[in-house]
Structure 1
């Protein structure tokens, strides 16, 4: 049994580091998430080991794996930390008109022009002292960023999730094809010449399947990607001067269309694309973030 005196003198900041290391299972990654040094993480865990009289984590290669005692304790302890955050968030009355907090949203740069201008108008009207930060969407890190409150919410296509991440459908959309106005296929786009044409894809990865190709492969269709761009704005410039096709969500296409481009339906039936809003359950009762989520949902319902 641990002495009560040791528990009373325990620095609660150590528990935040414990929680993060339990999730990350790596000292360096934990340090990055918490913006501290790996030696600070190591020192904190050493102090906890002394108080709790257990190694807590054991190194296996690059991983720090929980001991059986740690594994028994951690889920309940992390749950209590989440409840503590909720209690602290509810402390005091939230005043939208005077709040000076910074709202952080992770989203793809393709939908920034759709979301940010309207959200800025809502802030200017209802929360003039608040600020807004648009963060690059990282699908690999989204769960971690939400859990560690590095971002308040994220907007992304439908993807597998589990508690404690919550989500809500924002919109459904369909794919269309952008091409230059004098493209040879502008009035005769069929599935055979669509597949035979050269395409531009958008992804921040050099290789791998993009979302429209996943949908096409489900239909047993395969196309030729000639160029991969990191964003749709660059892809637009490419197709303005070349006979390439750009397949993309119609919501994004509407932001790119000008007098040099035309949009055509994809010449086959493809599944709808769903945009979702993601957030951490620990913020379910945070008045500020409840308001912000409502504003984002309102933007997509217009």
Structure 2
């Protein structure tokens, strides 16, 4: 009994069997035959279909014979100088025409500007919250057929080189030769605390700043190492008691504690609408900037629609 239950548990799910059967069935069908079927159906004759496909009428006739071997129906009946489809052929046409149209729409071989397609943009969560409203609006005004999908960044180089993502926007410098990058905007840093924080009641000095604990944003990669080094030189004895990869988490924590933190000004303006945040006037920090860039695969420029979207996003900033 236990052996039988073990075999049942190890049996593949039904969907795997169905998918395998689909592939086996399709392997036995020359999909070019479906194109020939559609040409004969639409142009109501073997000679006309041959002209459209630039092949001989004999090749068309042979293909129709092969199709008759696959389906339990003659498909086309001779009528005068042409042919007329059977009821079964009309039934097939409804499905085949939709399938071919969907394939052509997905391939978009002509770079058509009116084809619906999905644009995938990778961003960190906080960057997405800041910039995606403007990007979505700009894309919809110029490419209303585009569906925008925002995903997380896992590995910029691999995601773009393997075309898993169309575009990536973040603050990391990219040096891969296969990628292009364009700076969208630069944002000065700001020292942040909560509203009503005691530090706001006194003149800000280095001695005063050393008296408080700090948060630290820890992004992946090493592109911010020089900036972190400069901040450390400004605040050499800064005590970091909380670090996070997520700027939302840091903003929330600052808003409910006496911790201090550093973030780009545009993010501060966004987060202060959610949490009671205030800025601390400290010039050395405010003179530093973070650069946010748009990255994409160089080969993407072969796609006229994607190239146009890249231009639209750059103009939006």
Task: Determine if the TM-score, normalized by the shorter chain, exceeds 0.5.
Answer: yes
* Unmatched runs of 5 consecutive residues or more in structure 1: 1-88
Alignment of 1:68-217 (within 5 A): 91-95=109-113, 98-138=114-154, 141-186=155-200, 187-203=202-218, 213-217=228-232
In 1, Cα distance between equivalents of 2:211 and 2:227 = 16
* The structure with more helix, counted as a fraction of residues: 2
Q: Rate the CA distance shift 1:94–1:194 in 2: closer, same or farther, 3 A.
A: farther
Q: CA deviation at 1:203?
A: 3.4
* Unmatched runs of 5 consecutive residues or more in structure 2: 1-106
Q: What do the CA deviations read for 1:231-252 (whole angstroms, capped 9, x no partner)?
A: 2222222122211112101111
Q: Rate the CA distance shift 1:182–1:128 in 2: closer, same or farther, 3 A.
A: same
Q: Secondary structure at the match of 1:225?
A: strand
Q: CA deviation at 1:90?
A: 8.9
In 2, Cα distance between equivalents of 1:243 and 1:159 = 33
Aligned to 2:302: 285
- Aligned pair count reads 206
Q: Rate the CA distance shift 1:291–1:178 in 2: closer, same or farther, 3 A.
A: same
In 2, Cα distance between equivalents of 1:295 and 1:211 = 32
Alignment of 1:221-300 (within 5 A): 221-258=236-273, 260-269=276-285, 270-300=287-317
Q: CA deviation at 1:135?
A: 1.5
Q: Rate the CA distance shift 1:220–1:123 in 2: closer, same or farther, 3 A.
A: closer
Which structure 1 residue ranges, 4+ long, deviate > 4 Å from structure 2?
Answer: 209-212
Q: CA deviation at 1:120?
A: 2.1
CA contact (8 A) 1:105 1:135 kept: yes
